[in-house]
Amino acid sequence: MYNPIKVMITEEMLSKSSERDHGKYNDKSFMNGLGNIPGFLGEYILADIRPDLKHVFTSYDYDFLQADGNTTVDSKCKTHKVPKAPLWNHEASICVDSLHQQVDNYVFSRVYYDKLNDCYPYGWIIGGISKKEFFEKARPLKKGQRDGDNGYVVRQDCYNLHYLNLHPIKIKQ
């Protein structure tokens, strides 16, 4: 069942994201660092609805540890330019430059960028999936290839999976 969770982005989330942004930051970034703020915001909106996850800032392989202390979660986030929730047939992506990550699970999100007001007012937690299941179901796309469902031209080789295939994330208090 596709049911994205809308999460308001707070000034604290924006401030923390800006503090962590070092421009290029990640030398594997195909966006040359322009995805840093949305990526950090994706982490913070996940942390907001799942305070049981321990946010880890010392690994390039994952962003969170589950309560068992052994299971890892990486947050993957895209910018969304429409003020409505992403559609079920939009896609979760893992770029080939992220294949080195030693991670157990992924959680996918989108943050809305309001271009008119130059801000990120809210985002959505879309869903999660184990790394193993993701790659069993995902299809490969090559740089320059057009995504058949939404017409997006991929900027880097990646693996994509419809949001409908993700598992719902439960809100924890």
Number of domains in the chain: 1
Given this model, what pLDDT does residue 95 score? 93
Given this model, what pLDDT does residue 103 score? 98
Closest by CA position to 42, among listed 89, 93, 1, 88: 93
Q: Is residue 172 part of a domain?
A: no
**Dihedral sign, CA of 3, 172, 119, 22?**
negative
Which residues lie closer than 8 Å to 158 by C-beta, 6 or more apart?
93, 94, 95, 96, 140, 141
Q: Are 111 and 79 in contact (CB under 8 A)?
A: yes
Phi, psi of 169 (to 5 degrees): -100, 130
Residues of the chain with pLDDT below 70 are 21-35, 148, 173
Query: Whole-model pTM?
Result: 0.90
Domain of 128 in residue numbering reads as 5-165
User: 3-class SS at 65?
Assistant: strand
Rounded to the nearest angstrom, the gap between the alpha carbon of residue 116 and the centroid of all alpha carbons in its chain is: 23
Q: Is residue 170 part of a domain?
A: no
Structure tokens at 82: 């429409």
Given this model, what pLDDT does residue 20 score? 81
Element holding 16 (H helix, E strand): helix 11-20
Count of alpha carbons within 13 angstroms of residue 94, beta-carbon side: 26
Q: Is residue 171 part of a domain?
A: no
Q: Is residue 173 part of a domain?
A: no
Q: Are 150 and 89 in contact (CB under 8 A)?
A: yes
Given this model, what pLDDT does residue 153 score? 86
